Amino acid sequence: MLRPIVATFLLGAVVASVFAAGVGFARAEEPASAISIDNFSFTPATLTVKAGTTVTWTNKDDIPHGIGSANKAFKKSKALDTDESYSFTFTTPGTYQYFCYLHPHMVGSIVVESTTGSVESTTASNATP
Ligand code: CO
């Protein structure tokens, strides 16, 4: 199933371009990461990002889904129709559990890591080319 992955990347690029062109964000200062909603599940189910990363959920199913924080750490999305997306910028390190408030069995989590420390250099030296 390569198509959904490619489609997610393409959509992410389009969204990033639109945001950059329309709003003028400094992209280099604002890392972004994407979660795809497909077949009633979140991919990846657990996403690890650095603090300050904007996470965007995109609904690739043909029925609506909605994003809700398990502990109300962030504002819930509206119900997302096909190809609609929702973004939130995670600035505080921690683990954020979320679910689909239309189908509560759909769950996922986001691990937000501190931007300080030596994690980045360790990651870089071990990174797959
Ligand atoms: Co759902």
Contacts of 67 (CB under 8 A, 6+ apart): 57, 76, 77, 80, 86, 98, 100, 101
80: CA distance to ligand 1 center in Å? 9
For the chain, percent of residues with pLDDT exceeding 70:
67
63: CA distance to ligand 1 center in Å? 8
Most confident of 11-15, 26-30, 34-38: 34-38
- Give residue-wise pLDDT tens across range 92-128: 999 999 999 999 999 999 999 999 854 444 444 444 4
Residue ranges of the domains in the chain?
3-124
72, pLDDT greater than 80 = yes
52: CA distance to ligand 1 center in Å? 26
32, pLDDT greater than 60 = yes
100: CA distance to ligand 1 center in Å? 5
Angle (CA) 12-59-101 rounded to 5° is 135
Concatenating the DSSP letter of every residue in 72-88 gives -SSPPPPPB-TT-EEEE
For the chain, percent of residues with pLDDT exceeding 90:
65
Which class for 18: exposed (0-12), middle (13-18), buried (19 or more C-beta within 10 A)? exposed
Q: Taking the CB of residue 19, how many other CB atoms lie within 10 A of it?
A: 17
119: CA distance to ligand 1 center in Å? 34
Distance CA 43, CA 63 (A): 17
- Find residue 48's DSSP bridge partners: 111
At the top level of CATH, the class of 3-124 is mainly beta
